[in-house]
Structure 1
Amino acid sequence: MKPAAVLIAILLAAPAHGQTVAEPDGYRGEPYRAPVPATLAGAQVIDTARAMDLHGQGVPFLDVLPRKKRPENLPPGTLWVEEVHRTIPGAVWLYDTGYQELAPAETARLTEGLAAATHGDPSAPVVIFCKANCWMSWNAARRAVALGYSAVNWYPEGVDGWTAGGGELVVATPDPLP
């Protein structure tokens, strides 16, 4: 694609200045990296200062960025090195739980991860994040609300906002849930 075409595509994908992104009726699919709404019905939308405050209070953080898997079309014998994933310290990485549609394993990972993080208390606070302008955290936080969690904090700035605010990141390991 030519540079001018790329610029036009970016401009068309971004909301006009001052225009807001509406919450969809369902879950959002591709492209996941796009402007997100400023709201999420049933959840509290938080900024970096509030995220850091909640982190300091020990509120559980759930990272829903996908896990990069070995491509299925790699020839046999091809070396595959999994990309290092960095996250907010203490966050539980519930990878692949922010897609528009979830397979049973990802649904279980999210529901069991939420239950473990909140010790089975749906009124306990939790922070759900990924990266800035990424619908995966919006989808996962919306699912948490749909599952009956009443203190969901959606952090739309995610790891990008965290580092911009002076926070450190650590190497994540996938949560061992199914």
Structure 2
Amino acid sequence: MRTMRLVAGLMASLLVAAASPAPEPEGYRMQDFKAPTPATLKGAIVLDADALHTVIERGRVVLIDAMAAPRKPKGSAPEIPWMPPPRLDIPGSLWLADIGLGTLPPGVDTWFRHQLANATMGDKGKLLVFYCLPNCWMSWNAAKRALSYGYPHVAWFPGGTEAWKAAGYRLVPNQPVFPPEQP
């Protein structure tokens, strides 16, 4: 009986440890992007689904999906159509592929800066909200990068599309915007 309690206690400890958020790093996450994320992002607001819904209803928000997007496999015959898997997003979102990598090539960094300027129409007073999926560092990195670019109003929605859907809000099909190809 004592052994059973000990085993049960160890199992409970493991479950709590597995569910614990990761510590917030100083820099960007460089690898293993699908892993537990921190509960915070210094300088940003962290939103849940209902808070995000309220923010959207108030307006002056730019929603950015930072999820990586699959590309047509290299070496595929040009005449064979590429059918990427569908992605459902929060309505009104801009899906910017590859912005959440730990290091952005110079061309992608410049492209991301231009995308943010275009999406905000140069108005740094707009709130930028970054998301992808739960336990995805891509949105955390992208939000941190927007802060480093001088955007003062940045939010991170760590629950992503799964939390949005679970809260009963609708998702719509979306297509990615890709950065220019890098040499």
Report 1:159-178 matches (<5 A). 159-175=161-177, 178=180
Unaligned runs of 5+ in 1: 1-13
8 A Cα contact 2:108 2:179, kept in partner:
no
Counterpart for residue 40 of structure 1? 41
Q: Name the CA distance, whole Å, in 2 between partners of 1:115 and 1:171.
A: 24
Counterpart for residue 4 of structure 2? none
Identify if the C-alpha distance between structure 1 residues 55 and 24 changes in structure 2 by more than 3 Å, giving closer, same or farther.
same
Offset at residue 61 of structure 1 (A): 0.4
Identify if the C-alpha distance between structure 1 residues 18 and 146 changes in structure 2 by more than 3 Å, giving closer, same or farther.
same
Counterpart for residue 102 of structure 1? 104
Q: CA RMSD in A?
A: 2.4
Deviates more, 1:95-104 or 1:16-25: 16-25
User: What SS does the corresponding residue of 2:140 show, helix, strand or coil?
Assistant: helix
Runs of 4+ with >6 A deviation: none
Identify if the C-alpha distance between structure 1 residues 169 and 20 changes in structure 2 by more than 3 Å, giving closer, same or farther.
closer
Unaligned runs of 5+ in 2: 1-14
Question: In structure 2, what residue type is equivalent to 1:31?
Answer: D
Number of aligned residue pairs: give it: 166
Deviates more, 1:146-155 or 1:98-107: 98-107
Partner deviation per Cα, 1:120-177 (whole Å, 9 max, x = no partner): 1223211111111100000000000001111101111111111011111111123377
With normalisation by structure 1, the TM-score equals 0.82
Q: Name the CA distance, whole Å, in 2 between partners of 1:15 and 1:36.
A: 15
Q: Name the CA distance, whole Å, in 1 between partners of 2:119 and 2:103.
A: 22
Question: In structure 2, what residue type is equivalent to 1:128?
Answer: F
Identify if the C-alpha distance between structure 1 residues 93 and 171 changes in structure 2 by more than 3 Å, giving closer, same or farther.
same
8 A Cα contact 1:15 1:21, kept in partner:
no
Q: Does 1:135 align with 2:137?
A: yes
Q: Does 1:149 align with 2:148?
A: no
Identify if the C-alpha distance between structure 1 residues 89 and 133 changes in structure 2 by more than 3 Å, giving closer, same or farther.
same
Q: Name the CA distance, whole Å, in 1 between partners of 2:20 and 2:86.
A: 36
Q: Name the CA distance, whole Å, in 2 between partners of 1:54 and 1:126.
A: 11
Q: Name the CA distance, whole Å, in 1 between partners of 2:53 and 2:84.
A: 29
Offset at residue 67 of structure 1 (A): 1.5
Structure with higher Rg: it is 2
Q: Does 1:88 align with 2:90?
A: yes
Counterpart for residue 29 of structure 2? 28
User: What SS does the corresponding residue of 2:30 show, helix, strand or coil?
Assistant: coil
